Amino acid sequence: MPKIKTANDPLRSHYEAIANQVLRHSQWSEIRSNLIRSGMRLSKQNVAKYAKFRQLAPRKHITLLQREAYQEFINQYGSRPDFLGVELIEIVQQLYPPIKNRPTQIRKRFYAVGLKCDRSSIYSFQDACKAVASCLLYTPKEWK
């Protein structure tokens, strides 16, 4: 059965254009509720960010803790052009305590976004953002 648009919602249209897919009403309702639960306002800018995030990790949802940790990273380190691997790992561990004692998970999260996890490597700000976002997506088993 083909997916049919049932509402004329500009935010939904914006999401569909960025994600390059047509959503069912139930899918759009779930996306809206995930945005609200994570503390994001319903705006075109936030919908675009969420659509790009879902392309990076289609089966993950953003929690308020993860969003705040990522925003804290952007606010504190947004002016830095690059990061040493050791610094970036320490920053991730400070921002998101659930991954603190899990070096294997940190390495896996770096590889998930196509980056080598090396303490002596130098990462650009864009690569650091990808790595931090990927590490923040880690959910410990005890949370599931």
Taking the C-alpha atoms of residue 70 and residue 18, their distance in angstroms, rounded to an integer, is 22
Per-residue confidence (pLDDT) for residue 11, from 0 to 100: 92
Per-residue confidence (pLDDT) for residue 1, from 0 to 100: 45
Judge whether 23 and 3 are in contact, CB under 8 Å. yes
Per-residue confidence (pLDDT) for residue 88, from 0 to 100: 93
Taking the C-alpha atoms of residue 101 and residue 93, their distance in angstroms, rounded to an integer, is 8
Average pLDDT by stretches of 10, the chain with 144 residues = 60 91 90 87 88 77 82 90 92 86 87 89 92 82 58
Please list, in sequence order, all residues whose beta carbon lies within 8 angstroms of the beta carbon of residue 119, skipping any fewer than 6 positions away.
84, 85, 86, 89
